[in-house]
Amino acid sequence: MAKQIPDIVIGRLPVYLRALQQMKQEGRQVTSSQELGERLGISAAQIRKDLSQFGEFGKQGTGYNIEYLANQVREILKVNRSWDVIIVGAGDIGRALAGYNGFSERGFKIRGIFDNNASLVGSKQGEFTISDSKTMKEVIQTSGIKIAMIAVPAGHAQQVADQLVEAGIRAILSYAPVNLNVPAGVRVQNIDPSIHLQRMTYYLE
Protein backbone atom coordinates (compact mmCIF):
# COMPACT_ATOMS: atom_id res chain seq x y z
CA MET A 1 0.00 0.00 0.00
CA ALA A 2 1.11 3.54 -0.73
CA LYS A 3 2.38 5.82 1.99
CA GLN A 4 -0.33 7.19 4.24
CA ILE A 5 -0.90 10.91 3.63
CA PRO A 6 -1.31 13.03 6.79
CA ASP A 7 -4.80 14.41 7.26
CA ILE A 8 -3.38 17.85 7.86
CA VAL A 9 -2.04 17.81 4.30
CA ILE A 10 -5.43 16.76 2.96
CA GLY A 11 -6.92 19.65 4.88
CA ARG A 12 -4.79 22.17 3.03
CA LEU A 13 -5.50 20.88 -0.46
CA PRO A 14 -9.01 22.37 -0.68
CA VAL A 15 -7.53 25.73 0.26
CA TYR A 16 -4.94 25.44 -2.50
CA LEU A 17 -7.66 24.45 -4.92
CA ARG A 18 -9.82 27.42 -4.03
CA ALA A 19 -6.91 29.79 -4.59
CA LEU A 20 -6.09 28.13 -7.91
CA GLN A 21 -9.68 28.46 -9.08
CA GLN A 22 -9.61 32.10 -8.15
CA MET A 23 -6.33 32.67 -10.01
CA LYS A 24 -7.78 31.00 -13.04
CA GLN A 25 -10.80 33.28 -12.90
CA GLU A 26 -8.38 36.21 -12.84
CA GLY A 27 -7.12 34.95 -16.18
CA ARG A 28 -3.78 33.74 -14.87
CA GLN A 29 -1.98 30.83 -16.54
CA VAL A 30 0.92 29.94 -14.23
CA THR A 31 1.88 30.46 -10.61
CA SER A 32 4.64 29.46 -8.22
CA SER A 33 4.73 27.94 -4.76
CA GLN A 34 6.00 31.27 -3.56
CA GLU A 35 3.11 33.29 -4.96
CA LEU A 36 0.55 30.78 -3.75
CA GLY A 37 2.16 30.81 -0.34
CA GLU A 38 2.07 34.56 -0.10
CA ARG A 39 -1.61 34.63 -0.94
CA LEU A 40 -2.46 31.98 1.59
CA GLY A 41 -0.04 32.83 4.36
CA ILE A 42 1.69 29.44 4.04
CA SER A 43 5.37 28.83 3.36
CA ALA A 44 6.34 27.99 -0.20
CA ALA A 45 8.28 24.96 1.01
CA GLN A 46 5.20 23.54 2.67
CA ILE A 47 3.12 23.87 -0.46
CA ARG A 48 5.80 22.14 -2.51
CA LYS A 49 6.15 19.36 0.03
CA ASP A 50 2.40 18.87 0.28
CA LEU A 51 2.05 18.56 -3.48
CA SER A 52 5.10 16.32 -3.77
CA GLN A 53 3.24 13.70 -1.73
CA PHE A 54 1.11 13.06 -4.79
CA GLY A 55 3.44 13.58 -7.72
CA GLU A 56 5.43 16.17 -9.63
CA PHE A 57 3.15 18.86 -10.97
CA GLY A 58 5.50 21.77 -11.57
CA LYS A 59 8.38 22.74 -13.81
CA GLN A 60 11.67 23.99 -12.46
CA GLY A 61 12.22 27.64 -13.23
CA THR A 62 8.65 28.11 -14.39
CA GLY A 63 6.29 27.03 -11.62
CA TYR A 64 2.89 25.41 -11.99
CA ASN A 65 0.33 25.59 -14.76
CA ILE A 66 -2.74 26.72 -12.85
CA GLU A 67 -5.37 24.79 -14.76
CA TYR A 68 -3.32 21.60 -14.80
CA LEU A 69 -2.52 21.78 -11.10
CA ALA A 70 -6.13 22.53 -10.21
CA ASN A 71 -7.21 19.46 -12.16
CA GLN A 72 -4.64 17.31 -10.41
CA VAL A 73 -5.75 18.52 -6.98
CA ARG A 74 -9.39 17.91 -7.94
CA GLU A 75 -8.46 14.40 -8.85
CA ILE A 76 -6.61 13.82 -5.58
CA LEU A 77 -9.58 15.10 -3.58
CA LYS A 78 -11.99 13.15 -5.80
CA VAL A 79 -13.92 16.30 -6.68
CA ASN A 80 -13.23 15.90 -10.38
CA ARG A 81 -16.74 14.54 -10.38
CA SER A 82 -19.99 15.66 -8.73
CA TRP A 83 -21.07 14.31 -5.35
CA ASP A 84 -24.73 14.17 -4.38
CA VAL A 85 -25.47 15.80 -1.04
CA ILE A 86 -28.58 16.10 1.09
CA ILE A 87 -29.49 18.69 3.68
CA VAL A 88 -31.33 17.71 6.85
CA GLY A 89 -33.15 20.55 8.55
CA ALA A 90 -35.00 23.35 6.77
CA GLY A 91 -34.48 26.13 9.29
CA ASP A 92 -32.51 29.27 8.54
CA ILE A 93 -29.25 27.42 7.99
CA GLY A 94 -30.71 24.60 5.93
CA ARG A 95 -32.47 27.08 3.69
CA ALA A 96 -29.35 29.22 3.31
CA LEU A 97 -27.41 26.11 2.26
CA ALA A 98 -30.13 25.08 -0.19
CA GLY A 99 -30.00 28.51 -1.78
CA TYR A 100 -26.23 28.70 -2.08
CA ASN A 101 -25.01 28.26 -5.67
CA GLY A 102 -21.37 27.83 -4.79
CA PHE A 103 -21.50 24.05 -4.47
CA SER A 104 -21.77 23.02 -8.09
CA GLU A 105 -18.42 24.44 -9.21
CA ARG A 106 -16.70 22.81 -6.24
CA GLY A 107 -17.92 19.28 -6.86
CA PHE A 108 -21.26 18.99 -5.07
CA LYS A 109 -24.90 18.80 -6.08
CA ILE A 110 -27.73 19.22 -3.61
CA ARG A 111 -30.21 16.41 -4.07
CA GLY A 112 -32.81 17.25 -1.45
CA ILE A 113 -33.68 18.98 1.77
CA PHE A 114 -35.52 17.20 4.57
CA ASP A 115 -37.38 18.27 7.69
CA ASN A 116 -39.64 16.52 10.16
CA ASN A 117 -41.87 19.54 10.65
CA ALA A 118 -45.10 18.68 8.81
CA SER A 119 -45.94 22.34 8.22
CA LEU A 120 -42.73 22.77 6.20
CA VAL A 121 -42.92 19.54 4.22
CA GLY A 122 -44.11 20.17 0.68
CA SER A 123 -43.24 23.86 0.65
CA LYS A 124 -40.83 25.16 -1.94
CA GLN A 125 -37.39 26.34 -0.95
CA GLY A 126 -35.76 27.84 -4.02
CA GLU A 127 -35.59 25.06 -6.56
CA PHE A 128 -36.20 22.39 -3.90
CA THR A 129 -39.32 21.04 -2.29
CA ILE A 130 -38.83 20.18 1.38
CA SER A 131 -39.32 16.45 1.91
CA ASP A 132 -40.40 14.54 4.98
CA SER A 133 -37.51 13.15 7.01
CA LYS A 134 -39.26 9.79 6.96
CA THR A 135 -38.36 9.46 3.29
CA MET A 136 -34.69 10.28 3.89
CA LYS A 137 -33.39 6.77 4.19
CA GLU A 138 -35.01 5.61 1.00
CA VAL A 139 -33.64 8.57 -0.98
CA ILE A 140 -30.14 8.00 0.40
CA GLN A 141 -30.19 4.35 -0.46
CA THR A 142 -31.81 4.47 -3.87
CA SER A 143 -29.48 7.29 -4.97
CA GLY A 144 -26.42 5.95 -3.18
CA ILE A 145 -25.80 9.29 -1.45
CA LYS A 146 -22.71 9.39 0.76
CA ILE A 147 -22.65 13.00 2.03
CA ALA A 148 -25.09 14.90 4.24
CA MET A 149 -25.23 18.29 5.89
CA ILE A 150 -26.96 18.49 9.25
CA ALA A 151 -28.74 21.75 10.07
CA VAL A 152 -31.11 20.69 12.83
CA PRO A 153 -31.24 21.90 16.46
CA ALA A 154 -28.48 20.62 18.75
CA GLY A 155 -30.86 18.33 20.60
CA HIS A 156 -31.76 16.37 17.47
CA ALA A 157 -28.40 16.21 15.79
CA GLN A 158 -27.08 12.96 17.25
CA GLN A 159 -30.28 11.14 16.44
CA VAL A 160 -30.24 12.46 12.88
CA ALA A 161 -26.59 11.48 12.52
CA ASP A 162 -27.41 7.95 13.67
CA GLN A 163 -30.18 7.68 11.08
CA LEU A 164 -27.94 9.02 8.33
CA VAL A 165 -25.13 6.61 9.12
CA GLU A 166 -27.55 3.73 9.28
CA ALA A 167 -28.84 4.72 5.85
CA GLY A 168 -25.36 4.72 4.35
CA ILE A 169 -24.03 8.28 4.72
CA ARG A 170 -20.23 8.32 5.12
CA ALA A 171 -19.43 12.04 5.45
CA ILE A 172 -21.32 14.56 7.57
CA LEU A 173 -20.94 18.32 7.71
CA SER A 174 -22.71 19.35 10.89
CA TYR A 175 -23.87 22.86 11.77
CA ALA A 176 -25.27 21.69 15.12
CA PRO A 177 -23.25 22.93 18.10
CA VAL A 178 -22.66 19.49 19.62
CA ASN A 179 -20.11 16.73 19.26
CA LEU A 180 -21.40 13.90 17.14
CA ASN A 181 -20.39 10.33 17.82
CA VAL A 182 -20.20 8.19 14.73
CA PRO A 183 -18.68 4.81 13.97
CA ALA A 184 -15.21 4.47 12.48
CA GLY A 185 -15.29 4.98 8.74
CA VAL A 186 -17.68 7.92 8.91
CA ARG A 187 -16.10 11.40 8.68
CA VAL A 188 -17.51 14.42 10.44
CA GLN A 189 -16.73 18.10 10.06
CA ASN A 190 -18.25 20.67 12.39
CA ILE A 191 -19.16 24.27 11.78
CA ASP A 192 -20.07 26.19 14.91
CA PRO A 193 -19.60 29.96 14.75
CA SER A 194 -19.26 30.29 18.52
CA ILE A 195 -16.36 27.84 18.53
CA HIS A 196 -14.61 29.80 15.83
CA LEU A 197 -15.19 33.08 17.66
CA GLN A 198 -13.99 31.67 20.98
CA ARG A 199 -10.84 30.55 19.27
CA MET A 200 -10.02 34.18 18.55
CA THR A 201 -11.05 35.93 21.77
CA TYR A 202 -8.05 34.41 23.57
CA TYR A 203 -5.83 36.66 21.50
CA LEU A 204 -7.86 39.85 21.86
CA GLU A 205 -7.15 42.77 24.21
Q: Which does 52 bind (CB under 5 to 8 A by kind): DNA, its own copies, none?
A: DNA
What does each C-alpha distance from 57 to 16, 81, 112, 147 come to in angstroms? 13, 20, 37, 29
Question: Of 21, 32, 116, 163, which one interacts with DNA (CB under 7 A)?
Answer: 32
* 141 vs 61: CA distance, rounded Å: 50
Q: Using the rule CB under 8 A, is 57 a contact of its own copies?
A: no
CB of 48 to its own copies, least distance (A): 19
What residues from 114 to 143 belong to the interface with its own copies (CB under 8 A)?
A: none
Dihedral sign, Cα of residue 12, residue 14, residue 20, residue 26: negative
Q: How would DSSP label each residue in 37-49?
A: HHHHT--HHHHHH
What residues from 36 to 55 belong to the interface with DNA (CB under 7 A)?
A: 42-46, 48-49, 51-52
What residues from 83 to 112 belong to the interface with its own copies (CB under 8 A)?
A: 83, 85, 92-93, 95-97, 99-100, 102-103, 106-108
Contacts to DNA by CB under 7 A: 6-9, 32-34, 42-46, 48-49, 51-52, 56-64
